[in-house]
Amino acid sequence: MQPLTNRSKAVLQKEMTFAEKLYLPAIINGMIITFKHMFKKAATIQYPEQKREFSPIYRGHHVLKRDDEGAERCTACGLCAVSCPAEAITMQAAERKEGEEKLYREEKYAANYEINMLRCIFCGLCEEACPKEAIFLTDRLVPTEFDRGDFVFGKDKLVEKVDDRVDVTRRQTQDVLDFKQNKKYSHNK
Amino acid sequence: MENYYLFKIILVIALFVVSLVVAMYSTFAERKISALMQDRLGPNRAGPFGLLQPLADGIKMFMKEEIIPNVSNKTLFILGPCLAMTTALMAGVLIPWGGKIELWGETFNLQVADLNIGVLYIFGVTSLGVYGIMIGGWASNNKYSLMGAIRASAQMISYEIAMGLAIIALIMTTGTMSLGEIAAQQDAGWANIVYQPLGFLIFLICAFAELNRAPFDMPESESELIGGYHTEYSSMKLGLFLFAEYINMFISSAVIVTFYFGGYNFPFQNEINEALGLSTNMATALGTLVMFGKIFFFIFFFMWIRWTLPRFRYDQLMRLGWKSLIPLAILNILITGVVMWMNGKLN
């Protein structure tokens, strides 16, 4: 019969040699191995003091960005909600009033914007869908809560503070920006 | 005579404290060594280098809720850990911890009791240790506990024989059953390991089995029996069981050192003591230190083996005990006898 792969091996059931039956050489070999491990560097990361660096594309807690003047970028177009496979995003749009130009960048804004963090699968499709560079996933962890209701994050937890900006440059690389500006793709038209 | 009793009482109390402290820090060492062998750090939060970890563990054990199952036999359930702890502490009195010590113008041996049948006493007491496990496991009225207890007693019976036979060869060469004399005989000449290498190996393997340490930790085997005989135990009663194991480890390390590695003696000790100009007491202290060094090596060895080898299967354990170790031990007696006869030492 033709073997399917070249990896097949004939199984031998040979008698153990005296040394193997004695079992002691095997024990000593094992002990040498464990002894050597005593002097190896521990793989431990001592958590509260040390933190493991996240991968550059880590997708965690979302942020709703403001522009350079501090106005919210989101226009409540709803593309993120449409793209969300977990249906975690809901929003309500509102019209910008006179005198609110400093708060909202365009005439329409999200009066309510909620992400259910228990539904969210952190796939990053909302970020990809967003035409306004408004929503990003960051390398922050979603905090723990005691009630399920508290996991529905509103704008208070999602929008970045004016004086405490969230750095998204690790995910918002030049490639990403180019991709988002490229008129070849339908969502940018 | 009052001095004699006073000295013995002090020695007993010191021995008690030392046993407990060594056992305490053995638990810490076990966790640290296992961590190092698995490329981890181990406990390092309580105190500097985690040195207060045993204290924290002890407090935790005392604070935990104590559960006595309704279906258990309450008296025996409580008796189990007490027995395990008591028997663990009993064997230490026979060990010669050092040479002679001069105090209040008298000379004492650094040994609580030097029975002329010391070896038999050690055997009796260590085999009593299994009663704690057996009674505790049986009284729990739990299938896993009972299985653990059965395994413990079967293991003890199987390995006690091989251990006894290994010791018979040692008694033949030393010609005495007193531990004090066995240790004293090794002061100038070679340690007994040179005369009894096979006997030592058998004794060591049996010691592992008697201690219920890996690779012979059948009675506990957390992966099969959910902790075996101490499944139903909680709080400090569980702590006593675990603690008894570490005290046993300390004592059996001491016994191994006394039997086979010269006890408190070390090579060229007379020359070294003369060269340093040590008084009797200082020389004894040095010997005791050396003995503790040897003991700690064996405690480390027990842990080293535990974190190296997987557990034996029950039938493998029995096969090793009955079909390998006992015939080997008998062979060892035979060889010892023949060699002694050829050298004209048999009378």
Q: Looking at CA atoms only, how far is residue A16 from chain B in angstroms?
A: 16
CA end-to-end distance (rounded Å), chain B: 38
Mutate to test the interface with B, among A23, A38, A46 (most CBs of B within 10 A): A38
Q: Tell me the residue ranges of DSSP E strands in chain A.
A: 62-64, 89-95, 108-116, 135-137, 152-153
Q: Which of B37, B40, B307 sits opposite A44 (nearest CB)?
A: B40
Structure confidence at residue B331 (pLDDT): 92
- Supply φ then ψ for residue B295, to 5 degrees: -60, -45
- Supply φ then ψ for residue B289, to 5 degrees: -60, -45
Torsion-angle region of residue B344: left (phi > 0), alpha (psi -120 to 50) or beta? Answer: left
Q: DSSP for A125-169?
A: HHHHH-TTS-EEE-SPPPPP-SSGGGGEE-HHHHBPBTTBPPP-T
- Which residues on A lie below 8 Å from B36 (Cβ)? 37-38, 42
pLDDT at A188 over 60: no
Domain map (residue ranges) of chain A: 62-188
Q: Which of A27, A37, A46 sits opposite B39 (nearest CB)?
A: A37
Please tell me the distance from the alpha carbon of residue B309 to that of residue B202, in angstroms, as a whole number: 17
CATH number, domain A62-188? 3.30.70.3270
CB B104 within 8 A of CB B3: yes
Please tell me the distance from the alpha carbon of residue A34 to that of residue B36, in angstroms, as a whole number: 9
Please tell me the distance from the alpha carbon of residue A5 to that of residue B301, in angstroms, as a whole number: 46
CB B186 within 8 A of CB B262: yes
pLDDT tens track for A110-165: 889 999 999 999 988 888 888 888 888 888 888 888 999 899 999 888 898 888 88
- Which residues on B lie below 8 Å from A38 (Cβ)? 33, 36-37
- Which residues on A lie below 8 Å from B44 (Cβ)? 46
- Which residues on B lie below 8 Å from A34 (Cβ)? 37, 304, 307-308
Structure confidence at residue A121 (pLDDT): 92
Mutate to test the interface with A, among B37, B200, B300 (most CBs of A within 10 A): B37
- Which residues on B lie below 8 Å from A30 (Cβ)? 308-309
- Positive or negative torsion for Cα A63, A65, A66, A72: negative
Q: What is each CA distance from A20 to A29, A32, B199, in whole angstroms?
A: 12, 17, 21
Please tell me the distance from the alpha carbon of residue A92 to that of residue A113, in angstroms, as a whole number: 7
CB A63 within 8 A of CB B66: no
Q: Looking at CA atoms only, how far is residue B192 from chain A in angstroms?
A: 21
What is the share, in percent, of chain A residues with pLDDT greater than 70?
95
Q: Chain A residue with minimal CA distance to B302?
A: A31
- Which residues on A lie below 8 Å from B39 (Cβ)? 37, 40-43
CA end-to-end distance (rounded Å), chain A: 60
Averaged pLDDT for residues A81-100: 90
* Beta-carbon separation of B304 and A30 below 8 A: no
Please tell me the distance from the alpha carbon of residue A49 to that of residue B265, in angstroms, as a whole number: 47
Q: Which of B37, B41, B308 sits opposite A44 (nearest CB)?
A: B41
Q: Which of B36, B41, B309 sits opposite A38 (nearest CB)?
A: B36
Cis ω on the peptide bond leading into residue B215 (within 30° of 0)? yes
Structure confidence at residue A186 (pLDDT): 60
Q: Which of B37, B40, B41 sits opposite A34 (nearest CB)?
A: B37
Averaged pLDDT for residues A57-76: 87
Q: Looking at CA atoms only, how far is residue A18 from chain B in angstroms?
A: 13
Averaged pLDDT for residues A3-18: 80
Locate A87 and state its tokens: 């249906």
* Beta-carbon separation of B37 and A27 below 8 A: no
Please tell me the distance from the alpha carbon of residue B152 to that of residue B141, in angstroms, as a whole number: 16
| ipTM exceeding the 0.90 mark | no
- Which residues on A lie below 8 Å from B309 (Cβ)? 27, 30
Q: Chain B residue with minimal CA distance to A41?
A: B39
* Beta-carbon separation of B307 and A34 below 8 A: yes
* Beta-carbon separation of A37 and B40 below 8 A: no
Q: Looking at CA atoms only, how far is residue A53 from chain B in angstroms?
A: 19
Torsion-angle region of residue A113: left (phi > 0), alpha (psi -120 to 50) or beta? Answer: beta
**Chain A to chain B, count of Cβ pairs less than 8 Å apart?**
35
Please tell me the distance from the alpha carbon of residue B320 to that of residue A105, in angstroms, as a whole number: 81
The kind and range of the H/E element at B108 are strand B106-109
pLDDT at A20 over 70: yes
Residue from B220, B240, B242, B234 nearest B72 by CA:
B234
Give the residue ranges of chain B where pLDDT is below 50.
none
CB A60 within 8 A of CB A142: yes
Q: DSSP for B299-311?
A: HHHHHHHHTTSPP
Structure confidence at residue A90 (pLDDT): 92
CB B136 within 8 A of CB B229: yes
Structure confidence at residue A119 (pLDDT): 92
* Beta-carbon separation of A35 and B304 below 8 A: yes
Length of chain A: 189
- Which positions in chain A have a beta carbon within 8 angstroms of at least one beta carbon in chain B? 27, 30-31, 33-35, 37-38, 40-44, 46
* Beta-carbon separation of A34 and B41 below 8 A: no
